[in-house]
Structure 1
């Protein structure tokens, strides 16, 4: 029989974090420097980029010849999941006390932890708890701390508990997970994704369409049920994809994907992604049915994982519908800039295509290469970089110093959009 000390030692060894994948930072920085040299700019050095994947392993389930994923039975309204990693009981108590004081429904009862981890490589402490609020409603809460806030634990999100029958992964994607509550990170790569998958999942992959696939590192790098990943400030839950895998019990067999979902949501102070289903479409517009229509306003952006679909131009509250001008429509226009190289301009729909215009000319050569990503600011965000959405990519090179416009290829297949997320104000106001 092993002693309790030895057993906990083995668990701690399993929970050692995996080092960031080499090459990710270098690829991003090389691309940024190359594009900035093309523009002959002498701006200060680009912000350092680091991606760290936090891995803790609590239980790996054996599988037969075929990959299977059996959900643990629900615990009433709660997810019946075991914790990911060795839980810090002191951190659970600290987070629970904060939840009772800072939340709107304390004191909380029947509290249990999915994650309670100190000394993360990026966020100092992370806790994810579920429990009943004072009204008896099941809730889910995320807490983080970091060195910029003297490692003070802060409540970042307090949501209704997810469906315990259908949920396979829970997540939080936000640029507001460091510093004071509600404060946006000042780091160019200050958005974090916290992802916890159900027991039985052996690998989790988290990606965001604001970063090109070739720049996200080794896709076969090891992870486990818990992942903490860093992204640029433009990353949001609707543009984040989370995939879960299980490893078959066969030598050399590759993991099999068992689910792929969008990010769950952001922090309490982030714009809220309100879902809408397409009920009608023309070549210029789509009409979407929205249950939370009271939060929708004209001017808000409609997005999918791949990028920008269009902008809300009309809201019919009695019918619960919003009309959206597609990015290629003649009614669509707005400010934009190229990702990484930051070439400014504006985008406009022509009715059948999309163009970027008003590209500056002069002593500085604002060169845009084919494939360069063009993003559009979200009016519900505090600045042009937080939550910016990809609207298209340059269709060809724009090398001439006198060229002020160029055609873009939308990143979204607009003919097959069935559902969208409308980015609304967290306070329900205009934006």
Structure 2
């Protein structure tokens, strides 16, 4: 029997013939190291890409269920937004000159344009400028062409510059944007809405309770952040809603809505909306609180974006509160007419419902027809007329009444606007 030493030596002799050449082991290890290295690089790149995507997502959509656009760095006190489309330098100079002459606010300095273009849909010019007035205050101004004066630019509104961090869209809605300063259009579609959204928005949608379809810009167009639309003369800023969207990243996915806000107004001659908060409710009435010294009076209409809420019946100027009869209350009544077909009538609240009466027997009112009430704060029965409801059913032949369904959600009111006449 072999001893242990002899057995080990024999096994070693047999193994010599299958030992790899010198360096083989090192080559294998180096190859393995290179493969692991490539895997680490790929993993790192993937991680970096994921991180970049996440950072971008957080910048664009933020946290939570409602996506938000990231605020852009302000340009001092101004919006740090790039201009929309090509800026016409001649229009900027003309608008600045008009701005300087209007209301003795000029000369304006450090003027920069957000919009300066001849808009094909409006068949007119639109200019929006930011700049300091002669007092050194930052301002924002809208200009449009005067169709009765060879499209000469007119300044329509001059506002304090908006918050450059929080603002996502600026807008102007008025029936006084196409003619001479302060003059109401005589066109049935004479209200014009202008909205400019912040960079990153790929489409803007205008919705108005004065019309039954939305107007939305095409995504990725050179002016997709700008929308200029004609609306019915009844449309106002208070019944116009502006929404901004981001183009979806995935094919066939829905666009992501990143904001939805009311329109803005402020042109001389327009009725003014006084914001009010509902602080109490007593059956068929609501009590609202509003800023003092805003000209709130009995008989003025209370509205939300969806339509008419009611009418002011009492005002406490000391407390800054008003009592409003809801449109379904027994104390509410008034003259109305149907949209488009212009069938006249009157409305009356029954304590829980709303009825249109005194309709001509041969007048046609069909289910879902929109019914409007004139606003006494406006200059005519058509300008700024507010949707009070829609016909709940077709009016029967020869009948003179039809029930209406209110367009405003009267059961869940929290805020509303009281329409007051334009300040002198």
TM-score range, shorter chain: 0.7 to 0.9
Query: Residues 86-120 of structure 1, C-alpha deviation per residue, up to 9 Å, x if partnerless?
Result: 11111111111111111352222222111111253
Aligned to 2:287: 287
Aligned to 2:275: 275
The whole-number CA distance in structure 2 between the counterparts of 1:121 and 1:270 is 23
**C-alpha contact 1:182 1:269 (8 A) present in aligned 2:** yes
Aligned to 1:255: 255
TM (norm. structure 2) is 0.81
Aligned to 1:140: 140
**C-alpha contact 2:121 2:228 (8 A) present in aligned 1:** no
| 3-state SS, counterpart of residue 96 of structure 1 | helix
Q: Larger relative contact order (C-alpha < 8 A, sep ≥ 6)?
A: 1
The whole-number CA distance in structure 2 between the counterparts of 1:277 and 1:128 is 32
**C-alpha contact 2:126 2:142 (8 A) present in aligned 1:** yes
CA RMSD of superposed structures (Å) = 2.0
The whole-number CA distance in structure 1 between the counterparts of 2:405 and 2:165 is 40
**C-alpha contact 1:237 1:266 (8 A) present in aligned 2:** no
| 3-state SS, counterpart of residue 381 of structure 1 | coil
Aligned to 1:71: 71
Is residue 382 of structure 2 the alignment partner of residue 380 of structure 1?
no
Cα distance, 1:375 vs. partner? 0.5
**C-alpha contact 2:172 2:237 (8 A) present in aligned 1:** yes
Cα distance, 1:77 vs. partner? 2.2
> Gaps spanning 5+ residues in structure 2: where?
1-54, 62-68
| 3-state SS, counterpart of residue 302 of structure 2 | strand
The whole-number CA distance in structure 2 between the counterparts of 1:325 and 1:190 is 31
Are the structure 2 counterparts of residues 79 and 220 from structure 1 closer, same or farther at C-alpha, using a change threshold of 3 Å? closer
Cα distance, 1:293 vs. partner? 4.0
| 3-state SS, counterpart of residue 141 of structure 2 | strand
Aligned to 2:414: 418
**C-alpha contact 1:123 1:144 (8 A) present in aligned 2:** no
**C-alpha contact 1:239 1:304 (8 A) present in aligned 2:** yes
Is residue 180 of structure 2 the alignment partner of residue 180 of structure 1?
yes
| 3-state SS, counterpart of residue 79 of structure 1 | coil
Q: How does 1:351-430 map to 2 (within 5 A)?
A: 351-361=351-361, 365-401=362-398, 403-427=399-423
Aligned to 1:344: 344
Cα distance, 1:252 vs. partner? 4.0
The whole-number CA distance in structure 1 between the counterparts of 2:119 and 2:146 is 9
**C-alpha contact 2:275 2:418 (8 A) present in aligned 1:** yes
Cα distance, 1:121 vs. partner? 3.0
The whole-number CA distance in structure 1 between the counterparts of 2:384 and 2:255 is 32
Aligned to 1:169: 169
Cα distance, 1:367 vs. partner? 1.5
**C-alpha contact 2:156 2:181 (8 A) present in aligned 1:** yes
The whole-number CA distance in structure 1 between the counterparts of 2:253 and 2:406 is 37
The whole-number CA distance in structure 1 between the counterparts of 2:397 and 2:168 is 50
The whole-number CA distance in structure 2 between the counterparts of 1:229 and 1:107 is 31
Question: When you count helix as a share of all residues, which structure comes out higher?
Answer: 2
Give the aligned length: 360
> Gaps spanning 5+ residues in structure 1: where?
1-62
**C-alpha contact 1:123 1:146 (8 A) present in aligned 2:** no
Query: Residues 30-73 of structure 1, C-alpha deviation per residue, up to 9 Å, x if partnerless?
Result: xxxxxxxxxxxxxxxxxxxxxxxxxxxxxxxxx95675322211
Cα distance, 1:292 vs. partner? 4.6
Query: Residues 268-304 of structure 1, C-alpha deviation per residue, up to 9 Å, x if partnerless?
Result: 3211111111111122111111115432121111111
**C-alpha contact 1:236 1:266 (8 A) present in aligned 2:** no
Query: Residues 160-209 of structure 1, C-alpha deviation per residue, up to 9 Å, x if partnerless?
Result: 22122211000001111111111111110111110000111111111111
**C-alpha contact 1:274 1:292 (8 A) present in aligned 2:** no
The whole-number CA distance in structure 2 between the counterparts of 1:154 and 1:292 is 32
The whole-number CA distance in structure 2 between the counterparts of 1:283 and 1:373 is 26
The whole-number CA distance in structure 1 between the counterparts of 2:57 and 2:157 is 40
**C-alpha contact 1:336 1:374 (8 A) present in aligned 2:** yes
Aligned to 1:297: 297
TM (norm. structure 1) is 0.79
| 3-state SS, counterpart of residue 201 of structure 1 | coil
| 3-state SS, counterpart of residue 126 of structure 1 | strand
Are the structure 2 counterparts of residues 398 and 279 from structure 1 closer, same or farther at C-alpha, using a change threshold of 3 Å? same
| 3-state SS, counterpart of residue 103 of structure 1 | helix
**C-alpha contact 1:149 1:178 (8 A) present in aligned 2:** no
